[in-house]
Amino acid sequence: MPRPNTYEDIAGTGITVITTAKGDAFLIETANRETARRHCWSRHEHGYARAVTRTAEGLKTVYLHRLLCRVSDEAPHVDHINGDPADGRAANLRSCNRVENLRNQKLRMNSRTGAKVWGSTGRPASTGRASSGAANHTLVFSKLSKKRARLQCRRE
């Protein structure tokens, strides 16, 4: 049986810190403490708090942010507004569709151009550049990324 999590209230803030057996910490509002206590949380490889529960159908993974935002498995995505998957406070969570969630994602570590690209389907482009036949693309570049993109285009 996994070791239980610890729950520590931060005095006067209404925030509780959940600490896992491995030392990972997640923030929730104190009002959601009893809901969270029903599970033993661990850190997912992408930083999300998750728990595995046994159901009639078998084992099921439950994510803290989806539990606290009260969305079902079929419901839209839950977005962490500040980009921190360990922050499960209600002020940081919003229900959204796939495209809205992709627009709020961080720049990927393996990005060669520094661009975030979303097509009308909500899929990010793998190369970081819009194809000539694609419609409704949104490009986001930082100043440094623009220079990298220009250099990459010159090399190709």
Q: How long, in residues, is the chain? A: 156
Q: What are the φ/ψ torsions at residue 118 (nearest 5 degrees)?
A: -130, 130
For the ranges 29-38, 99-108, 130-139, the one whose mean pLDDT is highest:
29-38
Residues 53-65: pLDDT tens digits?
888 999 999 999 9
Q: Is 16 helix (H, G, I), strand (E, B) or coil?
A: strand
β-pairing, 6-10 with 42-43? unpaired
What pLDDT does residue 18 have? 95
What b/e string do you get for 54-68 counting C-beta neighbours within 10 Å, with b at 16 or more?
A: eeeeeeeebbbbbbb
How confident is residue 89, by pLDDT bands cut at 50, 70 and 90? very high
Q: How far is CA 41 from the centre of its chain?
A: 16
The two structure tokens encoding residue 99:
């495209």
Domains of the chain (ranges plus CATH)? 6-101 (3.90.75), 107-155 (no CATH)
